[in-house]
Amino acid sequence: MAARAPVDDPAVEARGLTKRFGAFVAVDHIDLTIARGEIFGFLGPNGAGKTTTIRMLCGLMPPSEGTVRVLGLDVRRDPEGIKGRIGYMGQRSSMYDDLTVGELLNFYGRIYGLPADERRHEVHAWIEQAGLLGRERQLVGTLSGGWRQRLALGCAILHRPELLLLDEPTSGTDPVQRREFWELIYRFADEGTTVLVTTHYMDEAEHCTTLGFIHGGRIIAQGSPAQIKATAMRGGLLEVLADPWMEALAALRGVPAVRDAALHGVAIHAVVDDPRAAAPQVAAALRAHGVQVRRIAERGPSLEDVFVSLVEPEREAAGTNAGAGRA
């Protein structure tokens, strides 16, 4: 086995990491550092480059450019050296439907080379930890989505990896199952496992110690959830309660002081440069459109507000460039 990296080394360090598929740039010169013991959330829409990045970090896909070190090892030079020290759960993990739960876990334990006694111990421990007791003899193909996800996670952590990479692990689960899944992730982190999780759920991002926002193959913001909400968004936010909603939303999008407006539950979040200066303009515009204003108040942004405020200018610029190219 390769020598372990010093404890103070980052679990993941990538510089200029790039992946091209022909002329298409899926990942565009990203820099990424993940400290050991951290829960790092990779947040972005579908097609942003999350899965491509995680596959390069696992050694499953070679980068076109850049360097990446995982657990102190150069992934380009020693992709096999890291595979016994990491766990990977993809969006479509290999699940053999004709095996039972116990058989599948034992199968993965053999793949990892766990001795028989250790394998039995780890399989039983995970079945108990994941709430799978009583399902050991159930066929994998008969499990619901939430139970399949737990089983897939067990297959990824059976050998107690130092780094766990989870690619949208809660996709297809209900809110209760998602919460229970995150409790398991917290438990791994408490035991010293570094976790990298990709997601497009903004509420899940709040569970992470550090976040990286990715869009169009580039990291557009990085830091703790609190840091990103405090620094990444230009301007401020007004929360507007008004009736009727859709007329209010349409009116706000026509106010010069409002850069963006979107529904959040029963409220509208309006992104503005100066909340105090914009509030009277917003109120006047709504009343001019016959909208009943119930409340206008300044509030801190959510992660979704920040992400949209960062992404919208890039989308508008891309649309402008595409239009210019067609002209």
Q: CA 40, CA 212: separation in Å to the nearest integer?
A: 8
SS3 of residue 195 by DSSP: strand
Q: Give the bridge partners for 215, in sequence order.
A: 218
- Residue 8 is predicted with a pLDDT of 64
Cβ(229)–Cβ(223) below 8 Å:
no
- Residue 315 is predicted with a pLDDT of 60
- Residue 227 is predicted with a pLDDT of 93
- The answer for residues whose C-beta is within 8 angstroms of residue 175's C-beta and 6 or more apart is none
- Residue 183 is predicted with a pLDDT of 92
Q: Which helix (H) or strand (E) holds 308?
A: helix 303-326
- What is the torsion angle, in degrees rounded to the nearest 10, for the CA atoms of residue 173, residue 303, residue 301 and residue 255? -90
First to last CA, the chain: 59
What are the two backbone dihedrals, phi and then psi, of residue 196, each rounded to the nearest 5 degrees? -115, 120
Q: CA 73, CA 81: separation in Å to the nearest integer?
A: 7
Global confidence as pTM: 0.84
pLDDT digits (tens), the chain, 327 positions? 333 444 468 999 999 999 999 999 999 999 999 999 999 999 988 889 999 999 999 999 999 999 999 999 999 999 888 988 999 998 776 789 999 999 999 999 999 999 999 999 999 999 998 889 999 999 999 998 888 989 999 999 999 999 999 998 988 788 888 898 899 999 999 999 999 999 888 888 989 999 999 999 999 999 999 999 988 888 899 999 999 989 999 999 999 999 889 998 889 999 999 999 999 999 999 999 999 999 999 999 989 889 888 887 666 555 545 454 444
* Tokens found for residue 17: 């990491």
Strand residues in 192-290 grouped as ranges (E):
194-199, 210-215, 218-223, 236-243, 258-264, 267-272
- Residue 296 is predicted with a pLDDT of 97
Q: CA 14, CA 249: separation in Å to the nearest integer?
A: 42
Domain boundaries, the chain: 12-229, 234-300
Q: CA 231, CA 215: separation in Å to the nearest integer?
A: 18
* Tokens found for residue 15: 């510089």
CATH hierarchy code of domain 12-229: 3.40.50.300
The domain made up of 234-300 is a member of CATH 3.40.50.300: no
